[in-house]
Amino acid sequence: MKLTREEYLKKCMELLDFFGIDYSKDVINLTDGGNSCIANPSSEFYELFGGHSINSIAEFVAKELGKETIWLEY
């Protein structure tokens, strides 16, 4: 599946929405839960993001949208 950069960004945002990651503010929060990788071949996101962490996708979105990320420790 070949996507344009804009289409890929939209898919990334869909993944963040699915996991409840808020990217609407100036700073996107990263957590230890976001270190989980997309590893389930049955997941709707596996084909595009298999092997990538949720945090790495959040960092990509932040960069594309001109936002920052911050690490939250609980």
Sketch the domain layout of the chain as residue ranges: 5-71
Report d(CA 1, CA 34) in Å as an integer. 25
pTM exceeds 0.75 = yes
Q: Per residue, what are the HEC states of 16-69?
A: HHHCCCCCCCCEEEECHHHHCECCCCCCCCHHHHCCCEHHHHHHHHHHHHCCEE
For 13-57, write each residue's pLDDT tens digit: 999 999 999 999 999 999 998 999 999 999 999 999 999 999 999
